Structure formats: C-alpha cells, structure tokens
Amino acid sequence: MPFWLPAAPVDRNPKLAGGPAALVATLGGPLGDVDHDAAALERANALAMGTNGATFSPLNMLVSGCLGHYWKQVWAIVFDGSVRIFETPTAGKALRTLSVSDCQCEVGEREDCKAGQYCFRLRHASGSAAFCAFDSKTLLLWLQALQAGGVKYEEPPVDITNVSSLFDLSATLLTGEEIDFKRYEGCVCLVVNAASK
C-alpha cells in the first residue's frame, strides 16, 4: 500500500526556473490564481482546450522507492502533444517525457489516493504513472489538455456475448463489495450513472 510523505503546503504557482520556466514562458507565463480569478481560469481553459492542449501545475505522483510505493510532489506540464515531469519547478531537465497520443488515461477514485485529491493514471507502452491533482479545477484542466493532445480515453472492451439482461451483470461498490444484480430480478430498477466524488 503506498504511503504519503508529510506534505508541505502546496504552492499552486511556484517560482519557476530551468526547463519549467522556459516552457511556461512559451505559453505566455504563469496562469495566476485559477481558483479565485475568473480571467486566470478563462486563460487556463483556453490553453487547455487550444491547439497545443497545454496546462501545468504541481501534482502528486506515485513513485517506487526502497520501502515500496509512495506519493511525491512533482511539477508537470502537458504541451504540444507531450507530458513532461520535472522533479521540481526549477529543474534543469525533465525526469520523463511521454507522447500524449501514445497514452491511455483512466480517471477516478483510487483507494490509495489521499482524501480531497483528484486522481488520474496515464498508461504508456513503457509503463504507467498515477497522478493526483490538488483540486477539481486542476484535474479538469489536465483532462482537457490531455484530450486536446490526443490521449485515449478508452474503456477496456467488456465481453457481453453471454449477457442477455441487466440481471446477468454485477458491480463493485465503493466499499469493494461485489453486488450481483440477480438479487434485484423481479423489481423495478432505475439504472443511473453517478459520480462518486
């Protein structure tokens, strides 16, 4: 089970240098306070949904260490079809660069995600990485930018060849309990797709 390192307060607009500063300058500079400034949020949305599909922010990333997996704060940018992960907002070069179009993105709750954070996973031929945004606006900007960059949001195919009704299916509750829909056979059912957060 991954563990959390003691968290320092998150600076949403840290001072940038090195590689991060150069990339952000290309995009017109820091975003500003997207949580409280409508103009900053409008600019951030335009960048995320624009032709370059760009956004940048601190994120938590699940990494491996000698004691297992743990969450580490990194600084990341998606821009012009690639995701670049920097160890700090002043790093000279990226730890990792991935082509967005080669990635598949999964969004949703993770049992090992810290409460109040918003997770997504990028899967690539060379592996996968889990990230947590610090707020829902940041997560939305990342998802918009990744989509504009060509990430694949695909669910794995489900074999339904032997399914003839709803009652042949089952589901997993947020508690992890498996529910067989056969228990509702003969009842009037309303099926609703609802977000859990």
Above 60 in pLDDT, residue 151? yes
Instruction: Name the pLDDT band for 6 (thresholds 50, 70, 90).
Output: very low
Measuring CA to CA, which residue among 27, 9, 54 is closest to residue 144?
Answer: 54
pLDDT of residue 45: 94
Q: Is residue 19 part of a domain?
A: yes
Q: What is the span of the domain harbouring residue 70?
A: 3-149
pLDDT of residue 8: 60
Q: Is residue 163 part of a domain?
A: no
pLDDT of residue 111: 59
* Mean pLDDT along residues 160-164: 82
Q: Using a CB cutoff of 8 Å and minimum separation of 24, what contacts does 7-11 make?
A: 7/73, 8/73, 10/58, 10/73, 10/134, 11/58
Q: Is residue 7 part of a domain?
A: yes
Considering 31-40, 59-68, 88-97, the range whose residues carry the highest mean pLDDT is 88-97
Give the domain CATH number at 85: 2.30.29.30
Number of domains in the chain: 1
pLDDT of residue 25: 93
More confident residue, 157 or 38: 38
* Mean pLDDT along residues 142-164: 80
pLDDT of residue 130: 85
b (16+ CB within 10 A) / e for 8-47 = eeeebbeebeebbeebbeebeebbeebeeeeebbebbbeb
Above 80 in pLDDT, residue 180? yes
Q: Is residue 45 part of a domain?
A: yes
* Mean pLDDT along residues 2-11: 58
Mean pLDDT of the residues in the chain: 82
Above 70 in pLDDT, residue 155? no
Instruction: Name the pLDDT band for 47 (thresholds 50, 70, 90).
Output: very high
Q: Is residue 67 part of a domain?
A: yes
- Per-residue pLDDT of 95-136, as tens digits, reads 988 888 888 887 765 656 666 778 888 888 777 888 888 888
Q: Is residue 120 part of a domain?
A: yes
Q: Is residue 189 part of a domain?
A: no
More confident residue, 94 or 5: 94
